Amino acid sequence: MRLLAELRVYGKLYRPPHWLFPGVAPHKPMPIGTAQRIYYHAKRTTKLTHGKDIYPLHHGFATHLLEASVDICAIQLLLGHRSLDTTTRYLSLTRQHLGQIRSPLDLLHCNDLPLLAME
């Protein structure tokens, strides 16, 4: 909840027109190198010792979107990828999420059909 509140304040203050975190040119996103420097600075400031770089955050963001049933093409757009292949490298699913997937056969309403006997 705190992150959402902080982002709302940021949005009201800076009113980014296209990207939440624009680069020097407002119509382009912040370069990854800039985001990395911000990440390292925050890590040093907070004295965090785990996490080598920003990419696990990217993976986590993509995975949470996928598990929230966000369309893969939307995830591709949000991550700024040209290729869907690049996007799929960032995706992983938790065992819990995989356990909730229903087979298409389970969705068929065939309760009144007899089961085939194996002889």
Q: How does pLDDT run across 69-90, given as a tens digit for each residue?
A: 888 899 898 888 899 888 888 7
What percent of the chain lies above the pLDDT cut of 90?
A: 8
Mean pLDDT over residues 11-18, rounded? 86
Can you give the pTM of this predicted structure?
0.54
Mean pLDDT over residues 1-29, rounded? 85
pLDDT at 8 over 80: yes
Residue 113's Cβ-count burial label (10 Å; 0-12, 13-18, 19+) is exposed
Mean pLDDT over residues 41-65, rounded? 84
Q: What is the pLDDT of residue 117?
A: 59
